[in-house]
Amino acid sequence: MNEEMRIALVERLGQDPVLRRARPPRAGEGQVLIRMRASALNFADLLKVKGQYQEAADPPFVPGLEGAGEVVEAPGGSGFAPGDRVALWVPGTMAEVVAAPVVACQKIPETMSFEQAAGFQIAYGTSHLALDGRAALRAGETLAVLGAAGGVGLTAVEIGHAMGARVIGIARGAGRLETVRAAGADVVIDSADCPDLKAALRDLGGVDVVYDPVGDSAGEAAFGALHRGGRYLVIGFAGGRPPALPLNHALVKNIAIHGFYWGGYRSLDPQALAGSMQRLMGLFEAGRLRPPVGEVMPLERLADAYDMLRNRKSVGKIVITL
């Protein structure tokens, strides 16, 4: 593979990526070479541009944390062969060719499009491992999902519903709430028209698990509605700051606060991550998951995609086609 390829490149912190041309990579030991077809945008991509992500990268670097494509080269015994359709989760997926470790690749069902697969792993993987593993969500419990119309929020609604929980989805705007309801929410709350979220959740009977990718005052309010023995999942801080949680309440009410960073499982417990992804692919094949694609945009419109993500103009994942 000698021809040049197109890449997105963050050349300076604080500036969105630009399009450049580069030589394609070669597959190293234990790596699969993949011709990319799609790459998903995540809130973490905005943080990386600002230099605020927990796994910081010095510019210049290629953005993107997950994507999907076709295998070009694969080492013997890897279980992959040229032509295989795969999803991958590695930094730098916004390039036309990517070299990824075997362990970071997963075959995708023939019925799953590249656009679906590109945005499937982090969002669905985060929600599945967090709810099934850390929170041990049980059928019949009540789950409150903040930012329920966002990329990870919608998956938490869908997976919580599939696990038999009563799901309360909190999002902004009637149109976005319809999407949340369609994903499986039993009750929806419009955060733009709810002056007291804690009271609203308590009026609905309180909650057993809070799934919080937002933080800020919304996280604090949802925490206040937790039952005794409840679980609070710290997923992210899209609202701008971490919530100031009253630890004395956590003590008295035996509330567990779980920090959850999906990417950290690559080193913390890669087998748990891989096993979760295999089960998720099985759920997709069984028709129990319907991953939506919010916006599909070509690489040439990457600046528009970043603007859309930054201003929360999308419902679900934004996917860049390559």
We report the CATH number of the domain holding residue 193 as 3.40.50.720
Distance CA 240, CA 242 (A): 7
Question: Could you tell me the residue range of the domain that residue 155 belongs to?
Answer: 123-263
Token pair, residue 74, equals 């694969």
pTM of the model: 0.81
Same domain, 198 and 180: yes
Which of 244, 263, 282 corresponds to the end of one domain? 263
Query: Residue 53's pLDDT is what?
Result: 84
Tens digits of per-residue pLDDT, 224-262? Answer: 999 999 999 999 998 889 999 999 999 999 999 999 999
Query: Residue 137's pLDDT is what?
Result: 97
In a domain, 281, yes or no: no
Tens digits of per-residue pLDDT, 268-301? Answer: 887 888 888 888 988 899 888 888 777 899 999 9
Same domain, 137 and 152: yes
Q: 159, exposed or middle or buried, with CB in 10 Å at 0-12, 13-18, 19+?
A: buried
- Evaluate whether 213 touches 230 at the Cβ level (below 8 Å): no
Query: Residue 316's pLDDT is what?
Result: 67
Same domain, 102 and 80: yes
Same domain, 135 and 258: yes
In a domain, 277, yes or no: no
Same domain, 128 and 240: yes
Q: Which residues of the chain have pLDDT under 70?
A: 1-2, 315-316
**What's the number of domains the chain is made of?**
2
Query: Residue 184's pLDDT is what?
Result: 95
Same domain, 71 and 167: no
Name the residue with tokens 């990517």.
98
Query: DSSP assignment, residue 134?
Result: I
